[in-house]
Amino acid sequence: MSALAFKNITSTAVPLGIDNVDTDQIIPARYLKAVTRGDFGKNLFADWRYNSDGSINKDFILNNPIYEGQILLTGKNFGCGSSREHAAWALSDYGFKVILSSHFADIFKNNALNNGILPIQISEEIIANLLKLVSSKPETKFIVDLDKQIFSTVDKSITENFQINAFKKECMLKGYDSIDYLINLRDKVERYEGRKVG
């Protein structure tokens, strides 16, 4: 589990804007054969990003040079489907640190948080506005302030608060390792096991 502390970021955004992006699209199953963490970023959105002959699909947003940045703007229900953490690894390896959606699939959300990616949930209406804004002005920069729970444009013309559970926030800000935390609870676990048997 990642122990990277999340720092505030200032970045442009990529307006993907597709609803129900499943983890098979984020990274197709044939790229799940690696036994190490490696680099999954090159196969992020592989079937959308590359043509069947391996060439670049120029129509796909990630291949459009005018859009770049550490923030991905997506449609609703991002990350549905398979539990593969490879999806979060691919997004992180590619360089995304923040993903905005009107809502995320549960398992993906956990996987993202466990890899230092901040999933920000805001209303469908605001996502729609952001998509319009970034599409017309790709140079628009945003600030993500996790501590204050604010997502805003640099000029503050758009300022949105977002919710995150206090515990998750603390873990992300400090880069806590949850597994170490649980290993330290071993006495409690053993007492629980004793109660269960007894």
Partner 1 sequence: MKGKTLFDKIWDSHVVHSIPEGPDVLYIDRHYIHEVTSPQAFDGLGRRKVKVFRPRQTTATADHNVPTINQHLEVKDLLSRTQLDKLKENCDNHDIELYDLNHEFNGIVHVIGPELGYTQPGMTIVCGDSHTSTHGAFGAIAFGIGTSEVEMVLATQTILQYKPLRMRINVEGTIQKGVTSKDIILYIIQTLGVDGSTGYFVEYAGSVIRSMSMEGRMTVCNMSIEMGARGGLIAPDGITEKYIKNRQFSKGKIDYIDYKTDDNATFDKEVSIDISTLEPIVTYGTNPAMSIPISKGIPKLENLNENDRESLSKSLRYMGFRSGQRIEGEKVSYIFIGSCTNGRIEDLRDAAKILKGRKVADNVTVWIVPGSNQVALQAKQEGLDKIFSDAGAAMRQPGCSACLAMNDDKVPAGEICIATSNRNFEGRQGVGAKTILSSPLTAAASAVTGIITDPRVFL
Residues 6+ apart with CB under 8 A from 61: 14, 15, 16, 67
- 166 Cβ partners below 8 Å, 6+ apart? none
Residue with smaller CB distance to partner 1, 71 or 88: 88
List CB contacts of 161: < 8 A, sequence separation 6 or more.
149, 150, 151
Compute and round to an integer the Cα radius of gyration of the chain: 18
Residue 112 C-beta: closest distance to partner 1, Å = 9
CB of 99 to partner 1, least distance (A): 15
Q: What does the alpha-carbon distance between residue 36 and residue 142 come to, in Å, rounded to a whole number?
A: 33
In the complex, what is the shortest distance from the CB of residue 18 to partner 1, in angstroms, rounded to a whole number? 8
The residue among 36 and 157 lying less far from partner 1, judged by its C-beta, is: 36
Rounded to whole angstroms, the Cα distance separating 52 from 164 reads 40
The pair phi, psi for residue 70, each rounded to 5°, is -95, 5
Q: For partner 1, give the closer residue by CB, 156 or 195.
A: 195
CB of 31 to partner 1, least distance (A): 10
Neighbours of 152 (CB within 10 A): 17
- Nearer to partner 1 by Cβ, of 139 and 187: the residue is 187
Q: By the criterion CB under 8 A, which residues form the site for partner 1?
A: 1-2, 18-20, 22, 24-25, 28-30, 32-37, 47, 52, 76-77, 80-86, 88, 103, 105-107, 110-111, 114-115, 165-167, 178-180, 182-183, 185-186, 188-189, 192-193, 196
CB closer to partner 1, 5 vs 29:
29
